[in-house]
Amino acid sequence: MTLNKTSILILLLVLIFSSCQKVIEFSGSITDPQMVVNCLLTPDSVVSAQVSQSRFFLSNSATFESIDNANVSLYVNGLLKDNSLTGKANGLYAGAYKPVVGDSISLKVKIPGQNDITCGTTIPHPVGPFWINSNLELTGINTPIVAVVTPKTGGDPVTDTIGTSVGRRLFLSLTFKDNPDVTNYYRLVVYTKTYSGTKVTTDYTFYFDDIVSGNSTSDAVGPPTSLSSNKFNVFSDELFNGKQYSLKFSVDDNFNSYFPGQSRPQSSKSLFVNLQSISKSYYLYLQTRSNIKTNSFFAEPVQVYSNINGGVGIIGGYTSSNTARINL
Amino acid sequence: MKKINLICLLSLFLSAFSYSQNYTISGHITDLKNGETVINASIFDSNLKKGCVSNSYGFYSLTLPKGAVNLLYSYVGYRQQAKAFKLQKDTVINIQLSESYELSEVTVVASRKDLGVKGSQMSAIDLPIAQIKSIPTLFGETDVLKAIQLLPGVKAGTEGQAGFYVRGGGPDENLILLDDVPLYNVNHMFGFFSVFNADAIKDVVLYKGSFPARFGGRLSSIVDISMNDGNNKTYHGNVTVGLISSKINLEGPIFNDKTTFNISARRTYLDIIAQPLIQSTLSKQPGMEKTYAGYYFYDLNAKISHKFSDNDRLYLSFFSGNDVIYSNIQQSSTSSSTGTEKTWLKMNWNWGNFLTALRWNHVISGKLFMNATAYYTRYNFLMDIGVDNETVVTNPPSTTNSNMKLGFHSGIDDYAAKLDFSYAPNPAHDIKFGLNYTYHTFRPGVTAAQTITGITQAMDTTIGDKDISSHEAVAYFEDNVSITDALKANIGLHYSTFNVQGQFYQSLEPRLSMRYLINDKLSLKAGYASMSQYIHLLSNSNIDLPTDLWVPVTKRIQPMHSQQASVGVFYNLLNLLDLSVEGYYKNMDNLIEYKDGSSFFGSSTGWEDKVNVGRGWAYGIEFLAQKTVGKTTGWIGYTWSKTDRLFDRPGQQLNNGLVFPAKYDRTHDFSLVISHKFSDRFDLAATWVYSTGNSATLALQNYQGPNIPGTSGASSGIYNVLSQPSLPYISARNNYRYQPTHRLDVGANFHKKLKHGTRTWNVSAYNAYNQLNPFLTTIKTNSVYDANTGVTSQVKQLVQISLFPIIPSVSYSYKF
C-alpha cells in the first residue's frame, strides 16, 4: 500500500516536471523573401556577384532560389563600367573588369517586380612589407609511428613501428606597419599544405591568441571551433593605429623521426601566411558571421552585418599581401 | 535660481525648530495579542489634525503644543484606540492594539498612512502577509516574490520563476532587503521558488519609484521585508506539510516577556520521495552497485529580540537557505586484462545565502530615535566533483588507487555597518538621516583541480580570478515635511561612493515625493528619484542558475544610473478601496546587454568583452484598486507600459545601433487577486493574470552567404550553391513576440478548530484551466503523414515548449 502511494507520488512528480510541447502556427507577420546579393572583390579577379533570395525559416526547401533574371550594372569610382554583367548559372553574374587598389566599386541590381538594390565598397590598399619570426617548442611526448611495411627479408606486409613522432608548436610573429591616416581592418590567413606525391592536403587550423584577435584565453588554447569568438581571424588597428605591430599566432605540427633503415614516407609540409587588408564592411560581416553559434541554447542570436541597400548580403573588398612560405 | 532654492530649503529646514511650548509624545506600538511591533500605524491628534506613523520598529514620536490632545491610534485591521489628555510635559505612551475580528467595513478606519491617499510616498505598495498567504501558488508554496509579480508595474520573467522586472528594469536592479539586510540570491530551485518563508515574515513593501533617500544601490525597486519578532505572551507554532516541502514555525517568550524568539524552517523532500525512482533507474546500468542522488532546498529563519527598557531593544536576525544537489554512484567492472575496477563518482552542488544581523534600537529622546546595525550577508556557490578509482589486478596481485577532485567556488560576501536616525522635531517634520558602509568581497569563480595517484600528487591546479574587494559608503538625509495642510513632501538626498580596484565612483542622488491633498479622499502625487547601481549580475537570459554571478563595476563598465519621474492620482473609496493611477517615465544609462552570440557560463573571466553598454527608457501607466480589509480582499491591477533599449555607442552597437524593445517589454499586464472569507471554516482565493507575450529574437528568414576565401569552405569556390552556408536573417533584436499568456490559480482553505489549535487543509490548483503558456519556441523537423497523398515527409515545425500544465496541490497545516 505504501509502495503504491509512493509510486503515485513519483508519477505525479514526473508528470509535473515533464515539460509540455505542442506544435504551433507561426503567429507573427510572415515577411517577404529578402533579395540577397553577395559580392567579394579583390584586385586581379573579375567582378562577380551572386543574386538569390532568402527563404522563410519554416520552409521545407533544402535549397535557396537563385535570381537568374536580374540586371546587374557595375560602377567604378562613380562611373558606369558595365551596364549588365553576364548572367551565369545559379544567379551568378560576372563582368570583365578587374578592380584595382583604391577603386570604389558599386553595383545596382534590378530584379523584375522588386525595388532596386544598391551596394558598394572600396578595394583597400595592401599591407606593406612584413617579416616573420618563429620559435619552436616541443609540446608533447614521443609516440610511435606505426605503418604497414614489407619486411626486407620478403614475405607478407606487417604492421611495425618505424619511428617516433613528437608534438611541437611553432610560435610566429608577423611584424608590419599600420597606415596612420585611416582606420585599417585586417584578416590573417594561415594554412599548411602537406604534399604527399601528387596529393596536396590543406589545413587551415592555427591558434590566433594575439590580444587584437579578441579571442578569449579558452578560445586560444585550443584550435578554432564553432564556438570561437573570431573564426575568420579579423582585427582592426584600434590598438596600434599608425604603429609597427607584431602579430602573434602559432601552429601545431608533429616532428617525425624514423628508425635507421626505415623508408620514410615521401611527404613534405609548408606553412603559408598571408595578411589581408579588408574593407570595413567585410570586417563587420566576418566579425558578426563569426559570432553565430550553432547549438548554443543560451547565446544571444546574431544579427549578421549587411551593407546591401534594399536587400541583404555583403559586398566587401580585400587585398592580399604577398604570401610567405615556411617549409616545416 | 540656485540661491533661491537653497534659501527655500534652508527656511523649510529651520522651520522644523521654530515651534515653542511644545512637548513630545513618544512610545512603541505593539500587537496586544503577541507583542509584535506594528509598523506604520497611524497616530493622529484629532484636535490639531496633526499626526505621524510608527517606524519599522513600532516607535513613534509626535511633538505637539501644550494643551488638550485627543490621540487616535489606528492600523488597518486593528481596533482604533483613543487617548485624550492634557499635554504638559514630554510623555511616553506605549500602545497595544488589538486585532479587529469583526472585519466589517464599519470598524475599519484607515489604510497605511504613509502610502495611501494622505501619505507623501507614491509608487509603493504594502502587501499584507495574510494576503500573500492566501494567494494560490505553484505546488502550494506561499511565495512573497510571486505575489509581488502580480502587482501593477511588475512583470514576471520566465513562467513559474520568481524573478521580476519593475518598470522596465532588469532582474538585477531590485534590492531585496530582509530586515534591512540585502540578499543577493533570492531563489530556490533555479528560480521557481523564492527563499522567503512566509511564516517568518511580518510585512512586505515594494517601492517602484519615488524612492525615499534612505534606500539606494539599485535602479528599479526596493523590496523591504520585515521578519516577525516573536510572540512575547505565549508559545505558538505552525506546522505545514505540503506536496514538496514541509515547514515549521515556532515563536514565544524566553524566560519573560522581554525576550522573544521566532524560528522558521522549511525543507523540500523531493529527493526522499524520488529516491526509489532514481535508484531503480540508475541501478539498471551495468555494474551499478550503490547509488543515491537527489535535490533539496531548505531555509531557516530565526530572530531573537530583547527589550532592555522602553528605550533600548536588541534584535539578532539569522537566515540561512541552501539548495543542494548530490549524487554518489558506485560502479564496478571486471575484465580479464585489467582485473576489477571500482569507480565512485561523488558530486555535490551547494548554493545559497547566509545572513546575520545585530540591531540595536535606542530612543535617545522622545524626538530622536537611533537604529544601529551590523550585518554579514553572503551568497555562495560551491560545486565539488570527485572520482575515486580502485583497480585490483589478480595476476600478479596489485591494487592501484587514484582520485580526482574538481571544485568550483564563487559568490559575494558583505560586511556592513549602518546608523539610522529618526528625528521628529514637530508634527510638520519627520527627518531621517544616516550613514552606512559596506565592505564587499566578490568571488568571481575559482576552479581547483587535483589528481592523486597512489601516494603521488600528480596535479594540483587552481584557475580563476582573484577575489575583488570594494568599499561602498552611503550618507542620506530625508525630511517628510508638511508644507501646508494640503501639501506634503518627502525631500531627500542620497550620496554614495564606490571604490573598487583603484577606481572611485560617486553619486549624489536627489529624491522628491510630493502630495497635494484635494480632500480627505483624494490626492495628487508626484515624485522624482535618481538612482545608481555599482554591481551587475551576470546570467544567461532564460533561467536563473546558481552560477549567476555578481560582479562590481570596472573602469570600462561604469555604474548604472537612472532617473525616474512619476505622477499619480490616489482616491480612497469609503475607507474600503484604495484606487490609484500612476504614470512614470524612467531613463537608464550604462545598462549592459550580451553581445550577439555571447552568453555566460559561470566564469567571470573576460566578462567585459562579452557585453555592450547602452541606455534604455521605460514609460507606462499603472492602475490599482486594492482592498485590504473586510471579508473580501485583493486587488485589480493593470499596466500599460513600454521599455526600449538603445545601444549605439561606437564599438558598443547592438541591433545596428537602432532602438529595440527590451526582452521583457510587454505592453499589457492585468492581474486580478481576490480572496473571500465565507466563514471561519472556509475561505477561497483566486488569481487570474493576463499579459502580452515576451519578445524574443528569431531569424524569420535564412539566406546563403558566400564561402570565405582562405577557409576550407572555399575550396569548392566562393559561390557554390551546394556548399555555401545558410545564415540567419534577423530584422531586429527581439523581433518576435510570443503568444499572450494567461493563467488562473485557485485555492481553498478548510479550517477546523481542534483542542489545542486550528488545522487547515489547503487545496489549490496552479494553472487551473491548463493553459499551456510559452516558455520558449524552437524549430523541429518532424515526420508528417499526409492522409491525402499517403506520403510521409519531413516538415519543419514551430514547437512551443511550456513548463507547467495544471498542477494540483494539497497541504495540511496545524497552528497552535
pLDDT tens-place string over residues A224-260: 443 457 889 999 998 888 999 999 998 888 777 777 7
Cell digits for B93? Answer: 505612551
pLDDT for the residue numbered B441: 92
Which pLDDT band, with edges at 50, 70 and 90, does B337 fall under? low
Query: Are B135 and B225 in a shared domain?
Result: yes
Is the minimum CB–CB distance between B731 and chain A shorter than 8 Å?
Answer: yes
Q: Is residue B579 part of a domain?
A: yes
Q: Which of A16, A37, A229 to mutate to test the interface with B (most CBs of B within 10 A)?
A: A16
Among candidates A19, A42, A54 on the partner chain, residue whose Cβ is nearest the Cβ of B802: A19
Q: How far apart are CA A84 and CA A95, in angstroms?
A: 8
pLDDT in tens, B284-303: 666 677 777 788 899 999 99
Which pLDDT band, with edges at 50, 70 and 90, does B411 fall under? confident
CATH classification of the domain holding B65: 2.60.40.1120
* Nearest C-alpha neighbor of B369 from the set B377, B378, B360: B360
The pLDDT of B781-795, averaged and rounded, is 80
Mean pLDDT, all residues of chain A:
83
pLDDT for the residue numbered B14: 46
The pLDDT of B508-513, averaged and rounded, is 95
Q: Is residue B797 part of a domain?
A: no
pLDDT in tens, B196-254: 888 888 889 999 999 999 999 999 999 999 888 888 888 889 999 888 888 999 999 98
Q: Which helix (H) or strand (E) holds B178?
A: strand B174-178
CB A93 within 8 A of CB A133: no
pLDDT at A65 over 50: yes
DSSP category for residue A221: T
**Strand bridging mode B695-696 / B736-737:** antiparallel
Q: How far apart are CA B508 and CA B497, in angstroms?
A: 9
Query: Are B70 and B158 in a shared domain?
Result: no
Q: Which of A46, A54, A323 to mutate to test the interface with B (most CBs of B within 10 A)?
A: A54
Which residues from chain B sit within 8 angstroms of residue A50, using beta carbons?
A: 704, 706, 719
pLDDT for the residue numbered B360: 95
Query: Are residues A21 and B799, on separate chains, in Cβ contact within 8 Å?
Result: yes
Q: Which amino acid is at B396?
A: P
Query: Are B437 and B395 in a shared domain?
Result: yes
Q: How far apart are CA B585 and CA B359, in angstroms?
A: 37
A87-96, B763-772, B774-783: least confidently modelled range:
B774-783
CA A288 to chain centre: 12
Angle at B29 between CA B25 and CA B31, to 5 degrees: 160
Most confident among A208-212, B478-482, B581-585 (mean pLDDT): B581-585
* Nearest C-alpha neighbor of B233 from the set B31, B485, B21: B31
Query: Are residues B598 and A31, on separate chains, in Cβ contact within 8 Å?
Result: no
Q: How far apart are CA B295 and CA A13, in angstroms?
A: 13
Top pLDDT among B222 and B280 is at B222
The pLDDT of B615-623, averaged and rounded, is 95
pLDDT at A299 over 80: no
Which residues from chain B sit within 8 angstroms of residue A15, using beta carbons?
A: 805
Place of cell 494567494: B135
pLDDT at B534 over 80: yes
Q: Which of B610, B708, B724, B771 to mutate to test the interface with A (most CBs of A within 10 A)?
A: B708
Q: How far apart are CA A282 and CA A275, in angstroms?
A: 14
Which pLDDT band, with edges at 50, 70 and 90, does A111 fall under? very high
Query: Are residues B701 and A48, on separate chains, in Cβ contact within 8 Å?
Result: no
Helices vs strands, H then E, count in chain B: 5, 49
* Nearest C-alpha neighbor of B368 from the set B316, B418, B426, B437: B426
pLDDT for the residue numbered B195: 83
pLDDT at A18 over 60: no
Nearest CA in chain A to B767: A16
Which pLDDT band, with edges at 50, 70 and 90, does A296 fall under? low
This model of the complex carries an ipTM of 0.88
CB B634 within 8 A of CB B745: no
Q: How far apart are CA A258 and CA A267, in angstroms?
A: 13
Angle at A147 between CA A145 and CA A148, to 5 degrees: 165
Among B61, B76, B107, the domain boundary falls at B107
* Nearest C-alpha neighbor of B41 from the set B52, B25, B27: B52
Which pLDDT band, with edges at 50, 70 and 90, does B604 fall under? low
Query: Are B201 and B134 in a shared domain?
Result: yes
Query: Are B248 and B338 in a shared domain?
Result: yes
Query: Are residues A301 and B797, on separate chains, in Cβ contact within 8 Å?
Result: no
Q: How far apart are CA B167 and CA B662, in angstroms?
A: 11
pLDDT in tens, B81-94: 888 888 888 888 88
Q: How many domains does chain B have?
A: 2
Which residues from chain A sit within 8 angstroms of residue B540, using beta carbons?
A: 298
A residues 183..212 contacting B (CB < 8 A)? 187, 189, 191, 202, 204
The pLDDT of A33-49, averaged and rounded, is 94
Query: Are B170 and B292 in a shared domain?
Result: yes
Q: Which of A238, A295, A300 to mutate to test the interface with B (most CBs of B within 10 A)?
A: A300
pLDDT for the residue numbered B173: 92
Q: Is residue B513 part of a domain?
A: yes
Query: Are B79 and B196 in a shared domain?
Result: no
Mean pLDDT, all residues of chain B:
84
Query: Are B199 and B70 in a shared domain?
Result: no
CB A99 within 8 A of CB A42: yes
Give the number of other CB atoms < 10 A from CB of residue B121.
22
SS3 content of chain B, % helix, strand, coil (to 5): 10, 60, 30
Q: How far apart are CA B762 and CA A183, in angstroms?
A: 69
pLDDT for the residue numbered B374: 96
Which residues from chain A sit within 8 angstroms of residue B770, using beta carbons?
A: none
Q: How far apart are CA B416 and CA B554, in angstroms?
A: 21
- Using only C-alpha atoms, what is the Rg of chain B? 30
Q: How far apart are CA B195 and CA B179, in angstroms?
A: 14
Query: Are B24 and B158 in a shared domain?
Result: no
pLDDT in tens, B633-651: 889 999 999 999 999 998 8
Instruction: Give the torsion sign (CA, A57, A60, A61, A67).
Output: negative
pLDDT at B457 over 70: no
Q: Is residue B251 part of a domain?
A: yes
Which residues from chain A sit within 8 angstroms of residue B273, using beta carbons?
A: 6, 9-10, 13
pLDDT for the residue numbered B461: 57
Is the minimum CB–CB distance between B657 and chain A shorter than 8 Å?
Answer: no
Which residues from chain B sit within 8 angstroms of residue A200, using beta carbons?
A: none
Q: How far apart are CA B684 and CA B674, in angstroms?
A: 8
pLDDT at B815 over 80: yes
The pLDDT of B167-175, averaged and rounded, is 90
Among B107, B136, B159, the domain boundary falls at B107
Q: How far apart are CA B355 and CA B178, in angstroms?
A: 9
**Residue B616 CA: distances (Å) to CA of A233, B164, B207, B619, B622:** 33, 18, 20, 11, 20
pLDDT at B484 over 80: yes
Query: Are B391 and B340 in a shared domain?
Result: yes
Q: How far apart are CA B814 and CA B367, in angstroms?
A: 43
Is the minimum CB–CB distance between B274 and chain A shorter than 8 Å?
Answer: yes
Helices A2-17 and B270-282, packing angle to 10 deg: 90
Is the minimum CB–CB distance between A294 and chain B shorter than 8 Å?
Answer: no
On the CB side of B659, CA atoms within 13 Å amount to 8
Is the minimum CB–CB distance between B805 and chain A shorter than 8 Å?
Answer: yes
pLDDT for the residue numbered B1: 45
SS3 content of chain A, % helix, strand, coil (to 5): 10, 45, 45
Among B73, B107, B141, the domain boundary falls at B107
Query: Are residues B803 and A40, on separate chains, in Cβ contact within 8 Å?
Result: no
DSSP category for residue A179: -
Share of chain A above pLDDT 70, in %: 85
Cell digits for B97? Answer: 492594539
B501 beta partners? none
pLDDT in tens, B669-710: 999 999 898 988 998 999 999 999 888 888 889 999 999 998
Is the minimum CB–CB distance between A94 and chain B shorter than 8 Å?
Answer: no
CB B622 within 8 A of CB B637: yes
The pLDDT of A75-88, averaged and rounded, is 91
pLDDT at B540 over 70: no
Q: Which helix (H) or strand (E) holds B377?
A: strand B368-394
Q: Is residue B623 part of a domain?
A: yes
Query: Are residues B597 and A40, on separate chains, in Cβ contact within 8 Å?
Result: no
Q: Is residue B750 part of a domain?
A: no
pLDDT for the residue numbered A226: 39
Query: Are B495 and B580 in a shared domain?
Result: yes
Query: Are B370 and B245 in a shared domain?
Result: yes
Top pLDDT among B432 and A220 is at B432
Domains annotated for chain A, with CATH where assigned, are 35-122 (2.60.40), 131-303+319-327 (no CATH)
* Nearest C-alpha neighbor of B228 from the set B202, B207, B209: B202
A residues 107..166 contacting B (CB < 8 A)? none
Query: Are residues A60 and B779, on separate chains, in Cβ contact within 8 Å?
Result: no
pLDDT at B17 over 50: no
Which residues from chain A sit within 8 angstroms of residue B801, using beta carbons?
A: 19-21
Q: Is residue B603 part of a domain?
A: yes
Q: Is residue B6 part of a domain?
A: no
Is the minimum CB–CB distance between A87 and chain B shorter than 8 Å?
Answer: no
User: From start to end of B75-153, where are the E strands?
Assistant: 81-87, 91-92, 95-97, 124-128
pLDDT in tens, B651-667: 888 888 999 998 889 99
pLDDT for the residue numbered A294: 62
pLDDT in tens, B417-428: 999 999 988 888
Which pLDDT band, with edges at 50, 70 and 90, does B773 fall under? confident
CATH classification of the domain holding B460: 2.40.170.20
Cell digits for B564? Answer: 525616474
Q: Which of B280, B600, B704 to mutate to test the interface with A (most CBs of A within 10 A)?
A: B704
Is the minimum CB–CB distance between B207 and chain A shorter than 8 Å?
Answer: no
**Structural domain range at position B24:** 20-107
Compute φ and ψ for B154, nearest 5 degrees: -120, 135
User: From start to end of B427-559, where are the E strands?
Assistant: 429-453, 456-464, 468-482, 487-500, 503-519, 522-533, 535-538, 549-552
Cell digits for B700? Answer: 524569420
B residues 486..545 contacting A (CB < 8 A)? 540-542
